[in-house]
Structure 1
Amino acid sequence: MSQAESPFAQQQLPSWRRAVLKVGSSLLAAEGEGLSPRHALGLAQFVSASLAEGREVVIVSSGAVAAGRAVIHRKATAGAAMAERQALAALGQAQMIGLWQRFFDRPVAQVLLTHDDLRNRRRYLNARATLNELLALGALPVINENDTVSVDELKLGDNDNLAAVIAALVDADALFIATDIDGFYTSNPRVNADATPVQDVEALTPEFFAMAGEAGSSAGTGGMRTKLEAAAKAAAAGIETFLFNGTRADAVRQLAQGRFSGTRFRPGQNRVAARKHWLRHVPLEAGGIIVDAGAARAMGEKGASLLPGGVVAAEGDFRRGDMIEVRLRDEHGERAIARGVSQYSAVDVRRIARRHSRDIESILGYNYGENVIHRDDLVMLP
């Protein structure tokens, strides 16, 4: 549709600092099963404009399997074996990254993830640290599911849901999903002329999922269910989702101008509140970290991270990535004051306790950052 024909009115985009842009293979695949810059160019221009304004963007991109088929001139076949898909993905990854690199004058970094990487808390933290470092270095991360090693029971299933997980992983403000339809409708507009556009969704109730139908069903909105699942995951993390038509040049241009045409999915609570709620309710591992009064004041009054210099001791046998209790030990005894995700194991915390952050690597031989618990992973108790 042209902009004049679109039933979705323009909205003003809220301000954002960091975003995830998900681009599906339908926007990248050429008729010969290879990759085409036709729609990717406009999206890349939106990314470039955002970067020029000091914002940060992470791209979640499909297309490796389609690119791999073009390399060996093999047509898509129904029910292709997992091994074939994995081989095609391996052949096509370089082409997909090359497509994105051609649009930018900064380095593009390829990041491949599996379900296991995001289910395992320590690997989750490692992935987050890597992505944050890439952004700090000025690189543009391009993420895809690692189809080369994924197996059926471990696959994330689709890049819509992967993008939502990544948005929470990197603490994004917004998730942009580029698709080949103008937004969310009450039913599939391609088969139902009475389908009504839905511009703004305050809360994703079961009724919306019923409108979407099952994945691939003709009654649904055309592959819309996984996009609703992604929006629900993002909302739970306090992140807004914007669903738009990436094949419409005018809709893509609007994004760089701070405007939006499509469907906006709002979170029930802000990002900080969602994060703190999660931190308060994740089960604790046995043991914990004992801190002094100075560290307790810095965390409670200044919102500071917990540094090794304020650590008195570590109890138990927790591991990096575990949710643990933080306890203050003073002349009044010992009491729980906070909980958070430890960047170091109990063994490591004991070795670096009372030491300066700059000494961590010389003591351990490695480091996961200067904080024992980062303030984003820390919540004070009442």
Structure 2
Amino acid sequence: MTAGEDRKAALERARRVVVKVGSAILTTKAGLDPRAVNRLADQLSGLHDRGLELVLVSSGAVAAGRGLMRSLNQESALELTDLPGRQAASAIGQSRLMHEYDEAFARYGKATAQVLLTRDDLRHRQRFLNARNTMRRLLDWRVIPIVNENDTVAVAELEFGDNDTLASLTIDLIQADLFINLTSADGVFDKNPDQHPEARCLTCIEDIGALDLARMCSGKTSVGSGGMYSKLRAARRAAQLGVPSLVVSGRTPFVLEKVFDGAEMGTWIPACGHRVSHRKFWMAYHADPVGEIRVDAGAAKALTKGGKSLLPAGIAGVEGRFAKGALVRISGADGLELGVGLSNYSAADLRKIMGRRTSEIEEVLGQAPYPEAVHRDNMLLDAAL
């Protein structure tokens, strides 16, 4: 199947779609742009009328709050470099953003729902499942959930970081069929077009896992927090779940309707051939790694080629301080990142048993609850961190 055929089939097959829109599309220097919100609602309502289930992950609250404060001549709101400032601006802007969406969608007889999430909500399994059940009920009721980070209560270490990351986790939360990322660019370019005028837009990225994202992408938008790096990382995570992505300009008139009518616009990123389980996806991406295990060449080969668990004998080094059950990075001796996994032992115990045979664990630690340092069922290789 060609890339064009894959794209056509996926768009025809899609029933549940996550659409992410960034601040650069929804705002101007003056703040939130109601016309942009109305144009987006026009398009989404049209797709909703076609029978699609839609979840919108929307930025814009911080910019909306900042715009209002500027209009009131509050100079302190001009630069929001610290977390409390961003949280305060979001608290001001979130209600205004939702009011604009409510009004825009109401013109088409559509109901919307505000869903504010923190990373902590999705990190805890029961709360994750509660959020999933709520989202499913909203979709059953033909409501359009509008998702944003709950900036007012999120702490720095529990921030998603950007709404592209939140969107990638929402794909897993609702088990979507398709991810559309509306951006200020026409798609993904082979180089940063701000630095390389000759850069060309890619129509398809066949193997997103093979891309050097850091080389291709640099810089962030002036009003957002992501940039193309975070968009491609989100697409890579979606691909691991078996969900294709489309990165396309949100400034093109009626772009969503054109795409679903067959126009080949933007950059298509197909799903990976091998899907990861929802459990492994949740394990790998709902917490940040707190340490690192370096493995020797033999262990790296056993992990990546043989699908084996990581044994203490293959560990060459341990970085950081972490407890049993913590999420840790797994890297080769050359520093190349291999993936992430849940450690069966604390960092202190791993340092005692690294390089030793499994039969020696009890002799060193006094007990041997696990033969593996990280079991393959608790490991995701090639994680998009």
Which category describes the TM-score, using the shorter chain as reference length?
A: 0.5 to 0.7
Contact 2:27–2:33, Cα closer than 8 Å, also in 1: yes
2:30 alignment partner AA:
G
C-alpha offsets along residues 230-249 of structure 1, whole Å, 9 cap, x if unaligned? 00111111111100000111
Query: Equivalent residues in 2 for 1:151-300 (5 A)?
Result: 151-216=155-220, 223-249=227-253, 251-269=255-273, 274-275=276-277, 278=280
1:17 alignment partner AA:
R
C-alpha offsets along residues 290-320 of structure 1, whole Å, 9 cap, x if unaligned? xxxxxxxxxxxxxxxxxxxxxxxxxxxxxxx
Structure-2 separation of matches of 1:97 and 1:32: 18
C-alpha offsets along residues 145-164 of structure 1, whole Å, 9 cap, x if unaligned? 11111111110000011101
Structure-1 separation of matches of 2:100 and 2:234: 25
Aligned to 2:101: 100
Residue 216 (structure 1) shift: 3.4
Aligned in 2, Cα 1:259/1:274: closer, same or farther, shift over 3 Å?
farther
Aligned to 2:20: 22
SS at match of 1:39: helix
C-alpha offsets along residues 199-219 of structure 1, whole Å, 9 cap, x if unaligned? 11122135341443345399x
After TM superposition, the structure 1 stretch with the greater mean CA deviation from structure 2, 246-255 or 73-82, is 73-82
Aligned to 2:320: none
Aligned in 2, Cα 1:101/1:260: closer, same or farther, shift over 3 Å?
farther
Residue 132 (structure 1) shift: 0.5
Aligned in 2, Cα 1:197/1:155: closer, same or farther, shift over 3 Å?
same
Contact 1:46–1:255, Cα closer than 8 Å, also in 2: no
Residue 59 (structure 1) shift: 0.2
TM-score, normalized by length of structure 1?
A: 0.64
Aligned to 1:111: 115
1:45 alignment partner AA:
D
Aligned to 1:81: 82
Structure-2 separation of matches of 1:63 and 1:122: 29
Contact 1:19–1:173, Cα closer than 8 Å, also in 2: yes
Structure-1 separation of matches of 2:168 and 2:214: 21
SS at match of 1:109: strand
Contact 2:172–2:278, Cα closer than 8 Å, also in 1: no
C-alpha offsets along residues 260-294 of structure 1, whole Å, 9 cap, x if unaligned? 40101111137xx5447849x99xxxxxxxxxxxx
Contact 2:45–2:110, Cα closer than 8 Å, also in 1: no
Residue 44 (structure 1) shift: 1.8
Aligned in 2, Cα 1:31/1:126: closer, same or farther, shift over 3 Å?
same
| Structure 2: unaligned runs, 5 residues or longer | 285-385
C-alpha offsets along residues 108-155 of structure 1, whole Å, 9 cap, x if unaligned? 100000111111111111110111111111211000011111111110
Structure-1 separation of matches of 2:195 and 2:218: 15
Aligned in 2, Cα 1:29/1:108: closer, same or farther, shift over 3 Å?
same
SS at match of 2:35: coil
Query: Equivalent residues in 2 for 1:316-327 (5 A)?
Result: none
SS at match of 2:268: strand
Kindly, what percent of the aligned residue pairs are identical? 36
Q: Does 1:143 align with 2:134?
A: no
**Count of equivalent residues:** 266
Contact 1:164–1:233, Cα closer than 8 Å, also in 2: yes
2:200 alignment partner AA:
T
TM-score, normalized by length of structure 2?
A: 0.64
Residue 89 (structure 1) shift: 0.8
Structure-2 separation of matches of 1:78 and 1:69: 9
SS at match of 1:194: coil
Residue 173 (structure 1) shift: 0.4
Residue 78 (structure 1) shift: 4.2
SS at match of 2:211: helix
Q: Does 1:49 align with 2:46?
A: yes
Aligned CA RMSD, in angstroms, stands at: 2.6
Contact 1:115–1:154, Cα closer than 8 Å, also in 2: yes
Contact 1:251–1:260, Cα closer than 8 Å, also in 2: no
Residue 256 (structure 1) shift: 4.5
Aligned in 2, Cα 1:217/1:55: closer, same or farther, shift over 3 Å?
closer
Residue 102 (structure 1) shift: 1.7
SS at match of 2:20: strand
Residue 87 (structure 1) shift: 1.3
2:88 alignment partner AA:
A
SS at match of 1:147: coil
Query: Equivalent residues in 2 for 1:331-370 (5 A)?
Result: none
Aligned to 1:39: 36
Contact 1:39–1:246, Cα closer than 8 Å, also in 2: no
Contact 1:164–1:234, Cα closer than 8 Å, also in 2: yes
Moved over 6 A (4+): none
SS at match of 1:259: coil
Residue 96 (structure 1) shift: 0.7
SS at match of 1:244: strand
Aligned to 1:372: none
